[in-house]
Structure 1
């Protein structure tokens, strides 16, 4: 989710496996990130997504709103772009 968004937690978000986590694994740092660190961070987030009962709803939401940042539904922004190609 974008840092400015305050989602309604009465929907699918209330069942999300990432709920309550700091989001460090789901979004890149403000400063640059080494490739190995990025891969590790993304793998950590994707493990959370893999166990999430609403990951498909999360991914659908990210695609519907054109989310450009973060890992949503187990996919990075680059991986989500490939869904449209």
Structure 2
């Protein structure tokens, strides 16, 4: 999975359309190999992003869980701690 695509399910508040669109854009970039498509591929690229976003929203809306929703701030702090441990942030 692309490292820039973050888990969006089971957060409070739930994922926004902008978050889903951003994840869809990253996914299409990854599988197409284009960061920015050429003019010849732009329509197909943008259509793919929109279709992936639609499918992702449908998936998010249909998933169920009995787990408590995760807190975004707590998850951000956990990610920072993992990054600091992995990359030695703050060590000289």
Which TM-score applies when normalising by structure 1?
A: 0.32
Query: If each structure's helix is expressed as a fraction of its own residues, which one has the higher value?
Result: 2
Task: Tell me which protein shows more strand as a share of its residues.
Answer: 2
Larger Rg: 2
